[in-house]
Amino acid sequence: MKGRTSFIFLTALILAVMWGAAAGAEDIVIGYTGPLSGPGAEYGHDCANGVEMAINEINSRGGIEVRGRKYTFRLEKKDDKINPETSVANARLLRKDHKAVAIFNPLFGNLMALMKINQERRNEFLVMAYTSVPQVSETGNRLTIALPMPFTIYSKIEAALAWERGWRKCAMVVTAGAYGDAWRKAFGAEWQKKGGTITLDKPANYYTRTDFAGPLAEALATNPDFLLIGGPSPTTAMIIEQARARGFEGGFVMIDQAKLDAIYAVMQKPLGMEGCIGTAKVTDVPFPATAAFIQTYKNTYKRNVTWECVINYTSMYALALAIAAAQTTDDVYAIRAAFPRVFPMLGDRYPMEFHGLTPNGRMLCMAVIQSMKHGRFTQAYQYIWWTNNRAETDKIRKVTKGDTPIVVFKVD
């Protein structure tokens, strides 16, 4: 009984100290607007969960200190159901009601709408853009941070890998919308530059359709070596299964929104993924911090880990570090200017790595790609895409905390 009493007392003391640290702190509000219901809800929740998990961890450690005062973070989430107008309305409410200093969003079209209002005088806020569409970081918006690498990296690397396999004919059945349009255009240009053929370009709405018989019939009638596919991972899994059910034996190249691990988890016949090339599984690009992150995430959210939660989690830490470095909680221009000072962010503390920031505000993380061959996932590779300078790439190889093989694939 004495031991148990001591344990209870110690636990209560620890909780009291943690509560006291948080109770004495002021809130910095972080906003999130994204799909939390409807067809994009799985994707939207993974992004929001990553931000939330980082905030909970930062707060449990006492928050951050700015000019001698303690601050914790508070996440305010709103559902935009993939509607840009709703995103803008949500952002205005997050600013009006909560003074949100930054707002996360994971959809290209919605982000472009947010970037039309985030520099309004006396109503400025940072846009934390979870999108690989290059245009987001090419608009000149001074208050936008793009989180993942541009998808043009994936389109070039995947085209090279498909070409090495001897594939020459591609039919594209990619998600409709601005993001899918940009992906198809980029990949098509890259593939044709190599001498390959695009047999069909048939966009499909991955957010509203569940039966892809029509688009697939048209695509497979062109006798392609592989299909370029992708949108939300669960729908992409349906495309694969329906293509196999129609007798397609070729390969699949997937746009970066579709993730191998998320697709594998929902496939009724996972071996149908044979010949897939896509974004590597989180578990196959391990860092020292990855295992603990996965365990905590699964315990907290009862969901499998995806790159959406990983990248948004690490990016929230980057934002917190930038606020602390800027020593201001409301001067968003100063916070934006402080971002380069927080890198590198390495895998001994985070489940992924950021190695810097481009001048136009895109964080530098390596592309990660693997495939399925003979029923098994192959070795994953990381690709440095922003430089081929020997001294710089040697430095990255030296400081990285992971052991996944690194390839330099500089994109002009």
All structural domains of the chain, each given as residue ranges with its CATH number in brackets, are 2-148+306-342 (3.40.50.2300), 151-255+260-283 (3.40.50.2300)
* Cβ burial, residue 183 (10 Å; 0-12/13-18/19+): buried
Eight-state DSSP code of residue 339: G
3-class DSSP assignment, residue 191: helix
Q: What residues form DSSP beta bridges with 204? A: 175
**Torsion sign, CA atoms 168, 169, 175, 179:** positive
Q: What is the pLDDT of residue 412?
A: 66
* DSSP three-state, residue 268: coil
d(CA 158, CA 151): 11
Q: Across residues 162-190, what is the average pLDDT?
A: 95
Instruction: Please report, as a single letter, which amino acid is at residue 143.
Output: L
Q: How far apart are CA 278 and CA 275, in angstroms?
A: 10
**Residue 20 pLDDT:** 44
Q: What is the pLDDT of residue 23?
A: 47
Residue 208 has pLDDT above 70, yes or no: yes
What number is the average pLDDT over the span 40-60?
96
Only one residue has tokens 């790609």, namely 369
- Other Cβ atoms within 10 Å of 19 Cβ, number: 10
Whether the per-residue pLDDT at 14 is higher than 60: the answer is no
In degrees rounded to 5, what are phi and psi of residue 110?
A: -70, -40
Mean pLDDT, residues 26-39: 94
Q: Where would I find the H helices in 121-199? A: 151-164, 178-194
Half-sphere exposure of 309 (CA within 13 A, CB side): 25
Tell me the average pLDDT of the chain: 93
Grouping H, G, I as helix, E, B as strand and the rest as coil, residue 278 is strand
Confidence grade of residue 16 (pLDDT, cut at 50, 70, 90): very low
The answer on pLDDT for 17 being more than 50 is no
The tokens for 272 are: 């149908």
> Percentages helix, strand, coil for the chain, rounded to the nearest 5?
45, 20, 35
385 touches 365 (CB < 8 A): no
